[in-house]
Amino acid sequence: MKISNFDPVSVRIFNTRIRNATLLVLALFIVLVIRLWFLQVVSGPVYRAKSEHNRLRLHDIPPVRGMILDRNGNLLVGNRPSFDLFVIPEDVRDRSKLLQDLQRLVCLDPQSAAQRLSASATVPFRPVCLLKDMSRDMLAIVEMYKFNLPGVVIKVEPGRHYVYGDLAFHLLGYLGEISEEQLDSGQYPDSKPGDMIGKSGVEASWQTSLSGLRGGEQIEVDAEGRKIRTISIRLPGSGSNVCLTIDKDLQLTAQNALAGKKGAIVALDPTSGQVLALASSPTVDPNLFVGGTNKTIWKEIAQSNDFPLQNRALTGQYPPASVFKIIVALAGLEEGRIDSREAIFCPGYYFLGGHRFGCWRKQGHGRVDLHRALVQSCDVYFYQMGKRLGVDRIARYARMLGFGKETGLDIGHEKDGLVPTRSWKLKKYGVPWQEGETISTSIGQSFMLVTPIQMATMISSVFNGGIIYRPQATKWVGKSEANKDHEFAPEVIRKVDITQAHLEIVKKALIGVVNEGGGTGSKSRFVNFTVAGKTGTAQVVGLKKDESGSNKYIPVHYKDHAWFVAVAPVEDPKIAVAIVVEHGGHGGSTAAPIAKELFQAYLMRE
């Protein structure tokens, strides 16, 4: 019998090894099956989505923002192509290198760009805008090096264009990038990070109508992210247009008249309250903000001592000076405290309790009745009339004619101004009202403050029969004049409780201010039609003039503010203006000539 050459021990060891190897292979196979199950079943949707995103992309198609027009259909704000640089985070291989390259090529701020990319980490396939409104030179450079800039995409989107630069900046407003707080507020449901929205003026007030509805497209891309074809598309809905009540040419005239000055002009249609011009100086060109706000430029504007962002027409609060004599005259006539035929002697000063209140004309005006007192702006006459009325009666008529509260303009934010009373002072300062303060209030000084738009509303009501209209800057909103979503009719706030006979007395005197000898507003006079108005010189601080009565050596920031309010033509009022020039001196010499320019531009066109 033949015996096997294999040692039983060796065979047992060999079989054990075979069994262990089989178990190891089986275990590895089980692990592989489990891994495949995990990848296919558990993580399948995630990888499927990534695969699709590598091949398919969803791109926003921004809507074309609506245009802004003047009352005659002239384009004030439109759109132009804007070349914007986007980055798709998922396609970026080396973020640090990419940002360094973009900084070198197009002066991109790497810190700001890195923050934007980090904020979008949860949506890696969404394009992040890093630079808006690139110049043609920047565009050419990026296109030249684009193969070495993975993840970079150039999009051509509609960019805002303010046709006349700084024209009506404070009314039109400007665009800025939407903030996180605004996104979270729920007020902008169709907006996304990087979108530009209205920050002030018309752009902000009519944001929803102007912005339109965004569209989108699904595209197929290659491995480098380049578009191969469009799979589906949803076209955006363009925004509605906004037609304003302002007149472009009149607005240009107003701004040119204020060039180099600080102040404001408001022009209204006295028969409807429509705003014909609204200018505030100094101003800003909103085109500076179209491509995003440059931090250096914004800091320079925001910290300027001239406050160019302030809309002085709505928020500038000034003593009304002698223009306020219109209020005192109407109050005195209505309350029976003034007889228009009564003459008061003006020696150039008035004493009350040992205090001397001077008249602007040192030598005095002699004997003046109400008519001559308004024509020549006699302070002494109104000191005495104000004393007869008392501050609370004066305040009641001031409020009746639109002072002390917002006018309700449909665009922008207003200040209330201030109409003081006895109770107001006691509550504010804890001390009683003094009779001397009534004397100052009666010529528009003391605590009294008004805004230019309030002044324009007041003078309009005197010449339209006593109607206070809500100022209106928007004429219609819609795709076109034939296809309007909204159209705005004149809105009457109230009819002032003043008899027409008393209004006529004051109107006649205001005609004399411009057209009679000795009238303080003669520099606004026309031969072709009749102008009526009232000058004012608002004291900023109490300073003594030199012996000649001049204030030419007074520092500019201490000089008086110049006021003029006027209406033309008196026979058929078409335009009412309120003009204030800060530290401009006398209203008759500084502000009245500006009114003449405005009337020339609006009423004497070819």
Of 274, 309, 579, the C-alpha closest to 407 is 274
CA 502 to chain centre: 38
Please name the residue that has the structure tokens 């003594």.
Answer: 544
Q: Kindly state the tokens that stand for 177.
A: 């990038």
SS3 annotation, 545-597: CCCCCCCCCCCHHHCCEEEEEEEECCCCCCEEEEEEECCCCCHHHHCHHHHHH
Going from the C-alpha of 315 to that of each of 267, 280, 417, the distances in angstroms are 16, 10, 8
Task: Find residue 368's DSSP bridge partners.
Answer: 344
Distance of alpha carbon 147 from alpha carbon 320, whole angstroms: 66
In Å, how far from its chain's centre is CA 249?
20
Q: Whole-angstrom Cα distance, residue 408 to residue 474?
A: 13
Longest dimension (CA), the chain: 162
**To the nearest 5 percent, what fractions of the chain are helix, strand and coil?**
40, 25, 40
Residue carrying structure tokens 């091949």: 55
Handedness of CA 306, 312, 317, 319 (dihedral sign): positive
Parallel, antiparallel, or unpaired for β 575-581 and 561-568? antiparallel
Query: Which structure tokens are listed for 105?
Result: 């090529």
The answer to whether 274 touches 602, Cβ cutoff 8 Å, is no
Closest CA to 117 of 138, 134, 131, 101: 131
The tokens for 455 are: 């002044």
Q: Based on the residue annotation, tell me whether 322 is a catalytic residue of this protein.
A: yes
In 3-state terms, what secondary structure has residue 239?
coil
By CB neighbour count within 10 A (0-12 exposed, 13-18 middle, 19+ buried), where does 539 fall?
middle
147 sits in the region (left: phi over 0; alpha: psi -120 to 50; else beta) called alpha
What Å distances lie between residue 574 and 342, 458, 568, CA to CA? 33, 15, 6
* Dist. CA 367–CA 182, nearest whole Å: 63
Residues 6+ apart with CB under 8 A from 375: 509, 512, 513, 516, 518, 519, 520
Task: Out of 238, 280, 281, 322, pick the active-site residue.
Answer: 322
Q: How are beta strands 355-358 and 196-198 bridged, if at all? A: unpaired
- The beta-carbon contacts of 599-602 under 8 Å, at least 24 apart in sequence, are 599/524, 599/526, 599/529, 599/531, 599/566, 599/568, 599/575, 600/253, 601/249, 601/250, 601/253, 602/247, 602/249, 602/250, 602/253, 602/267, 602/276, 602/574, 602/575
**First-to-last C-alpha distance (Å) of the chain:** 138
Residues catalogued as catalytic: 322
